[in-house]
């Protein structure tokens, strides 16, 4: 294994651990934090199935966003669709054989990468152009969009510039990336845009669990959207904290008693 | 500075404010414009000095909060935030996942009315999120200011005190947010943190104290309550010629009615009380009010305190145990209905001792409409012919609670009841009703005169929509189902040169239309 491959591989294993462990910890935090009161944003579904439908509409169509702002919806929706397609196309690098549907996808689709990139640029411009969004944006919002733009650009360059749009790179990349998953990576492909692309993706994955990108799991835990509106029929709580993550008071400071933690089974 | 200034204490700095009780609303055009930078309208900090009076030491002590700003307030605040993060999934998730997409920015009536960008829901939430980032997240520790992390200093605390008291916790922003981020949850948490460091708000905390001590927000003791009800009974008899009762503390009555105490004497609230009394009278149902639970309102929610809210609500449980009614009905009140509908069962339930045939609690509109549907009472619509009526959806009812069995019953049931009581009903602009309703501008503990400016400004969108239907359809009555809405509008309408009499209750209409004596 040459030095570069070693460095790239090491980076990959570190980052992939940060990514998964970080996300798992977030996930666990969201699962274990109680929601002591029912706060669905009404009108809300009265059944679990209804909540499923509501959540589906939010995740698959960004329904509320659509009602709130069409421009942001357009940019955001296309960007995420693009992301989804691009991600699926990447599957061919991860596995030894390529799943048939991915092949078909790659065949019928040449442009999702460009659409993804355009949508990102559109979102970047919106952030600057809508005065209110500009007011609330912080540097990291631009940083993240910039990072994604850079990832998309280098990815497209790797594919269409260096390899002239052919599929010549696939075996090289498969040997390296696919190899990473079987702990037997081939040499890092000498394609310059790819080398940058890879590093940028590692940066994204390492930042992911600590950034606002956790909206991808958080959306499922939003109490205003995932709760059933049935308080008169079924008692909610009294809440039992099963996994209290207690932080020790640093100073002997006087604080108010918080809500009573009763060790009773929830939902009588 | 020219004149001599004594050194200010931290709490004086934080709560220093400008009070403009005579603030007048802008001229009504019917348009709800979004302030924009190009117009030079977005002005940073334009209402940062509109702040309520702080609670006095005795008010704070009564609720078990530190009497005044504690010396180590920064540490205590951060610790309290940490505790709240472990207790509320909403807070933890919402502080993490906002992408600052900007969708909510033009949805808040206080931003639309005041032009202050910190009243954009996400900007309001950022005031707390900045602190969360700085003290609780890796991102904030690594990136600092670049990620929007910020130290909690006196300046920021002052902004908290201003802007978290310019949010009526109406949840309008949450309707449009892709993740349902509820800024109300965030401002509740911020207020709870402020209380826990000794920085309370006078209006809310003094009223909560009265509620705990006497049993209602007005501090009316049982004797005074009895006297008021008796004299109202006399007026009723004079008006209708019938012996319509307003019973108090009757054991074993069929229905216990819990209603906001403003209904006992404030105008136009009392008109609705007369309406309820006529409905019960005509339906021939025994009912009672309770002096233990002479208040449906519960300001514990406004300060985000589960403990305070539970303590206040426990009076209702006590009243049920004392009076042993079979049904529990709640009068016209927005936030009270949210707490009753969504929280009571958790806080003071289960309601095993009530008759399981009926929902517990039940809203007075649900109850009356059911009687109308069954023909148990008759309404004469022509009694309200002098009115062309519109309906203001109270945000706490619209977005925090429900009525009936179907989603959206909270919109249809009051409307059906109004339609049954009058001939002329007009809907306001569709973007200002139902779940998109604008707050009246006085909810969430803002109903206090020293912040009149923000109350007037927050009412702007609703006033514009009302103006349109007044001009185009001749509307002269806006029906309400919230005690705070009623109090707010009677104050605010004149500030927009609209007559006070336009605001009234839904049961005011019912009370006028009901045919007394004509048993079905
Ligand atoms: C369950 C999966 C996901 C859902 C439902 C979801 C939904 C959303 C929604 C509704 C928005 C707001 C609209 C907008 O600003 O564009 C948004 C923003 C964003 N999402 Fe996602 N997302 C998901 C996964 C992801 C993933 C995996 C990424 C990873 C790169 C991502 C990156 C972003 C970015 C960067 C923004 C902010 C766009 C901006 O700055 O304007 N999302 N997401
Ligand atoms: S709509 Fe939601 S995600 Fe977007 S800025 Fe507002 S709170 Fe944040
Ligand atoms: S809850 Fe209502 S008042 Fe508060 S920020 Fe959201 S829209 Fe504005
Ligand atoms: S006063 Fe009425 S409109 Fe305003 S917050 Fe309360 S329920 Fe909403």
Q: How far is CA B382 from CA B69, B386, B514, in A?
A: 58, 8, 10
Residue A108 clears pLDDT 90, i.e. is over it: no
Answer yes or no: is B470 within a domain: no
* Euclidean distance between CA atoms B366 and B417, whole angstroms: 9
pLDDT of residue A241: 45
Cα distance between residue B393 and residue A61, in whole Å:
28
For residue A93, what are the contacts with CB-CB under 8 A and spacing of at least 6?
A: A170, A173, A174, A177, A178
pLDDT of residue A66: 97
For B40, the closest chain A residue by CA position comes to A131
Q: 3-class DSSP state for residue B224?
A: helix
Residues B172, B443: Cα–Cα separation, whole Å: 13
A14-21: long-range contacts (C-beta < 8 A, 24 or more apart)? A15/A202, A15/A205, A15/A206, A16/A205, A18/A205, A18/A206, A18/A209, A19/A205, A19/A206, A19/A208, A19/A209, A21/A209
pLDDT exceeds 60 at position B80: yes
**A38 has pLDDT over 50:** yes
Q: How confident is the model at residue B46 (pLDDT cuts 50, 70, 90)?
A: confident
pLDDT for the residue B38? 52
Q: Looking at the predicted structure, is the pLDDT value of residue A265 above 70?
A: no
Angle CA(B483)–CA(B486)–CA(B492) in degrees, nearest 5?
A: 140
On the question of a cis peptide bond just before residue A43, with omega within 30 degrees of 0, the verdict is yes
Q: Per-residue pLDDT for B402 more than 60?
A: yes
Smallest Cα distance from B241 to chain A, Å: 39
Residues of chain B with pLDDT > 70, as a percent, come to 97
Residues of B in contact with A46 (CB under 8 A): 405-407
| Per-residue pLDDT tens digits for B182-231 | 999 999 999 999 999 999 999 999 999 999 998 888 888 999 999 999 99
Q: Which residues of B478-504 are buried (b: 16+ CB within 10 A; e: fewer)?
A: bbbbbbbbbbbbbbbbebbebeeebbb
> Per the domain annotation, does B442 fall within a domain?
no
Closest chain B C-alpha to A11 CA, distance in angstroms: 20
Q: What is the pLDDT of residues B4-40, one digit of tens each?
A: 556 888 899 899 888 888 888 888 998 888 887 555 5
Q: Are B196 and B211 in a shared domain?
A: no
pLDDT over threshold 50, residue A142: yes
Q: Of the bound ligands, which one is closest to the alpha carbon of residue B93?
A: 2
Using CA atoms, how far apart are residues B62 and B70, in angstroms rounded to an integer? 16
Q: How many residues does chain A have?
A: 268
Distances (CA, A) of A242 to A68, A154, A222, A258, B89: 37, 47, 20, 16, 14
State yes or no: pLDDT of A267 exceeds 50.
Answer: no
pLDDT tens profile B296-341: 999 999 999 999 999 999 999 999 999 999 999 999 999 999 999 9
Burial of residue B212, with CB atoms counted within 10 A of its CB: 0-12 exposed, 13-18 middle, 19 or more buried: middle
What band does A245 get if pLDDT is binned at 50, 70 and 90?
very low
Residues 6+ apart with CB under 8 A from B346: A36, A37, A38, A231, A235, A236, A237, A238, A239
B43/B11 same-domain check: yes
Task: Determine the distance separating the centroid of ligand 3 and the alpha carbon of B326, expressed in angstroms.
Answer: 37
B183 and B293 co-located in one domain: no
For the beta sheet containing B255-258, the strands, ordered from the edge strand earlier in sequence to the opposite edge, are B287-288, B255-258, B327-330, B362-363
Average pLDDT over residues B273-296: 96
CB of B104 closer than 6 angstroms to any ligand 3 atom: no
**B145 SS3 class:** helix
pLDDT for B316: 95
Can you list the alpha helix ranges (DSSP code H) found in A165-219?
A: 169-173, 179-181, 192-207, 215-218
Phi, psi (deg, nearest 5) at residue A217: -100, -35
CA distance B308 to B312: 6
Q: Which of B200, B225, B243 is the last residue of a domain?
A: B200
Instruction: Give the tokens for residue A127.
Output: 């952030």
Percent share of chain A, pLDDT over 70: 85
**A48 to A52, A129, A236, B335, B394: CA distances (angstroms):** 6, 40, 14, 26, 27
Q: Which residues are CB-contacts of B42 (< 8 A; sequence separation ≥ 6)?
A: A131, A132, A135, B35, B36, B115, B116, B117
Instruction: Determine if ligand 1 sits within 6 Å of the CB of residue B180.
Output: no
Beta carbons of A42 and B66 less than 8 Å apart: no
- Tell me the average pLDDT of chain A: 85
Q: Name the DSSP class of B379.
A: B
Q: Is residue B119 part of a domain?
A: yes
Tokens of B323: 């009076």
Evaluate whether residue B435 is within a structural domain.
Answer: no
pLDDT averaged over every residue in chain B:
93
Nearest to A126 by CA among A116, A134, A114, A138: A134
Could you give the CA distance from residue B483 to residue B331 in angstroms, rounded to a whole number? 9
Distance CA B100, CA B369 (A): 43
Query: Which of B97, B99, B346 is nearest residue A238 as measured by Cβ atoms?
Result: B346
B97-103: average pLDDT? 96
Q: Which pair of structure tokens corresponds to residue A166? A: 């052919």
The distance between the two most distant Cα atoms of chain B, rounded to a whole number of Å, is 78
In terms of Cα–Cα distance, which of B50, B123, B165 is closest to B450? B50
Q: ∠ CA B16-B105-B450 to the nearest 5 degrees?
A: 25
B253 Cβ contact list (under 8 Å, min separation 6)? B247, B286, B287, B288, B323, B325
Q: Model-level pTM?
A: 0.92
Expressed in angstroms and rounded, the spacing between residue B122 Cα and the centre of ligand 1 is 16
**Neighboring chain A residues of B86 at a CB cutoff of 8 Å:** 33, 244-247
Cβ-based contacts of B106 with chain A (< 8 Å): 132
For residue B78, pLDDT beyond 80? yes
Of B147, B170, B200, the domain-final residue: B200
CA distance A23 to B467: 51
Give the ipTM.
0.92
CA B247 to chain centre: 27
In a shared domain, residues B493 and B385: yes
Query: Residue A162 has what pLDDT?
Result: 60
Number of structural domains, chain B? 2
Domain annotation covers residue B120: yes
Q: Six-digit token pair at A49?
A: 């199935």
What integer pLDDT is reported at residue A239 of this predicted model?
59
Residues B333/B339/B342/B346 CA torsion (nearest 10 deg): -150
The first and second tokens of residue A251, run together, are 């100073």
Alpha carbon distance B195, B198 (integer Å): 5
> Span A233-251, mean pLDDT?
55
Lowest model confidence (mean pLDDT) among A95-104, B4-13, B339-348: A95-104
Question: Which strand (E) or helix (H) includes residue A82?
Answer: helix A70-94
- Mark whether B137 and B213 lie in a shared domain: no
Q: What is the three-class DSSP state of B208?
A: helix
The DSSP-derived string for A123-175 is HHHHHHHSHHHHHH--HHHHHHHHHHHHHHHHHHHIIIIITTT-STHHHHHII
* Inter-chain CB proximity B100 and A212 less than 8 Å: yes
Element (H, E) at B410: helix B409-421
* Domain range list for chain A: 3-226
| B196 lies in the same domain as B216 | no
Is B10 in the same domain as B150? yes
Contact flag B346-A44 (C-beta cutoff 8 Å): no
Residues B224 and B170 in one domain: no
Please judge whether A68 and B177 are an interchain contact, meaning their C-beta atoms are less than 8 angstroms apart.
yes
Q: Specify whether B112 is located in the same domain as B27.
A: yes
B239 and B186 housed in the same domain: no
From the list A42, A138, A259, the residue facing B147 with the nearest CB is A138
Beta-carbon contacts of residue B27 (< 8 Å; ≥ 6 apart): none
Which residue, B200, B217, B250, sits at the end of a domain? B200
DSSP for B449-493 reads: GGGHHHHHHHTHHHHHHHHHHHHHH---EEEE--HHHHHHHHHHG
Percentage of residues in chain A having pLDDT higher than 90 = 60
Q: What is the dihedral of CA B349, B352, B354, B359, to 10 degrees?
A: 70
Does domain A3-226 match CATH 1.10.760.10? no
Q: Count of CB atoms within 10 A of residue A155's CB? A: 23
B10: exposed, middle or buried (Cβ count in 10 Å: 0-12, 13-18, 19+)? middle
Structural domain boundaries, residue B24: 2-200
Kindly report, residue by residue over B145-161, the tens digit of the pLDDT. Answer: 999 999 999 999 999 99
Residues B65 and B140 in one domain: yes
Domain identity same for B18 and B94: yes
Provide the pLDDT for residue B398.
97
Dihedral sign of CA atoms B341, B343, B347, B350 in order? positive
pLDDT at B41: 54
pLDDT in tens, B476-506: 999 999 999 999 999 999 999 999 999 999 9
Closest CA of chain B from A73, distance in Å = 9
């Amino acid at each position: 294994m040459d030095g570069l491959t070693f460095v790239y591989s090491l980076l990959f294993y570190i980052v992939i651990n940060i990514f998964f462990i970080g996300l798992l910890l977030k996930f666990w935090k969201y699962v274990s934090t109680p929601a002591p009161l029912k706060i669905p944003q009404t009108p809300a579904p009265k059944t679990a199935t209804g909540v499923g439908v509501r959540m589906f509409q939010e995740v698959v169509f960004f329904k509320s966003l659509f009602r709130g702002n069409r421009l942001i919806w357009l940019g955001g929706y296309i960007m995420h669709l693009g992301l989804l397609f691009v991600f699926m196309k990447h599957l061919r690098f991860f596995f030894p054989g390529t799943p048939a549907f991915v092949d078909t996808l790659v065949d019928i689709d040449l442009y999702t990468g460009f659409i993804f990139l355009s949508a990102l640029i559109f979102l970047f411009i919106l952030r600057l152009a809508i005065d209110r969004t500009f007011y609330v944006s912080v540097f990291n919002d631009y940083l993240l969009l910039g990072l994604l733009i850079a990832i998309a650009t280098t990815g497209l360059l790797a594919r269409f510039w260096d390899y002239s749009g052919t599929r010549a790179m696939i075996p090289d990349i498969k040997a390296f990336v696919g190899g990473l998953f079987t702990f037997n990576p081939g040499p890092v492909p000498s394609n310059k845009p790819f080398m940058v692309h890879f590093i940028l993706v590692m940066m994204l994955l390492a930042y992911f669990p600590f950034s606002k990108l956790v909206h991808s799991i958080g959306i499922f835990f939003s109490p205003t959207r995932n709760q059933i509106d049935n308080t008169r029929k079924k008692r909610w709580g009294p809440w039992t904290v099963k996994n209290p993550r207690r932080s020790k008071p640093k100073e002997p400071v006087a604080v108010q008693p918080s809500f009573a933690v009763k060790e009773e089974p929830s939902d009588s | 500075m020219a004149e001599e200034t004594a050194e200010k204490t931290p709490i004086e700095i934080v709560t220093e404010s400008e009070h403009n009780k005579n603030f007048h609303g802008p001229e009504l055009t019917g348009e709800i414009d979004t302030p924009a930078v190009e117009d030079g309208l977005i002005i940073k900090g334009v209402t940062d000095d509109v702040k309520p009076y702080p609670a006095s030491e005795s008010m704070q002590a009564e609720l078990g909060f530190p009497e005044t700003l504690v010396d180590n307030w920064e540490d205590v605040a951060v610790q309290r935030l940490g505790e709240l993060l472990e207790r509320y999934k909403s807070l933890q998730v919402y502080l993490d996942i906002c992408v600052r997409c900007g969708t909510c920015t033009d949805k808040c009536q206080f931003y639309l009315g005041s032009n202050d960008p910190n009243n954009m829901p996400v900007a309001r939430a950022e005031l707390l999120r900045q602190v969360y980032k700085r003290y609780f997240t890796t991102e904030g520790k690594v990136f600092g200011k670049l990620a929007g992390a910020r130290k909690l200093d006196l300046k920021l605390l002052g902004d908290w005190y201003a802007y978290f008291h310019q949010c009526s916790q109406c949840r309008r922003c949450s309707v449009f947010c892709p993740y349902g981020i509820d800024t109300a949850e965030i401002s509740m948490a911020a207020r709870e943190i402020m209380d826990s460091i000794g920085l309370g708000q006078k209006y809310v905390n003094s009223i909560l104290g009265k509620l705990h001590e006497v049993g209602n927000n007005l501090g009316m003791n049982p004797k005074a309550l009895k006297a008021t009800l008796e004299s109202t009974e006399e007026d009723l008899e004079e008006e209708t010629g019938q012996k319509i009762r307003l019973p108090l503390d009757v054991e074993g009555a069929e229905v216990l009615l819990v209603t906001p105490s403003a209904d006992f004497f404030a105008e136009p609230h009392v008109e609705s009380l007369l309406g309820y009394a006529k409905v019960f009278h005509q339906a021939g149902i025994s009912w009672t009010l309770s002096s233990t639970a002479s208040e449906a309102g519960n300001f514990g929610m406004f300060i985000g305190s589960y403990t305070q809210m539970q303590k206040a609500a426990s009076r209702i449980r006590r009243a049920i145990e004392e009076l042993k009614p079979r049904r529990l009905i709640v009068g016209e009140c927005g936030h009270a209905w949210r707490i009753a509908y969504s929280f009571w069962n958790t806080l003071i339930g289960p309601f095993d001792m009530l008759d399981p045939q009926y929902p517990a609690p039940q809203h007075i509109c649900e109850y009356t409409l059911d009687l109308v549907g069954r023909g148990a009472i008759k309404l004469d619509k022509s009694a309200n012919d002098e009115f062309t009526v519109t309906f203001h959806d109270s945000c706490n009812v619209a977005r925090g609670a429900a009525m009936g069995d179907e989603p959206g019953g909270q919109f249809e049931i009051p409307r059906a009841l109004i339609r049954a009581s009058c001939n002329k009903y007009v809907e306001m602009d569709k973007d200002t009703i139902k779940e998109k309703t604008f707050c009246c501008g006085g909810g969430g503990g803002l109903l206090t005169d020293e912040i009149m400016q923000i109350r007037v400004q927050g009412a702007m969108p609703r006033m514009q929509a009302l103006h349109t239907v007044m001009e185009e359809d001749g509307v002269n009555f806006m029906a309400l189902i919230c005690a705070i809405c009623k109090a707010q509008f009677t104050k605010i309408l004149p500030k927009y040169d609209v007559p006070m009499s336009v605001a009234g209750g839904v049961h005011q209409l019912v009370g006028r239309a009901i045919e007394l004596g004509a048993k079905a």
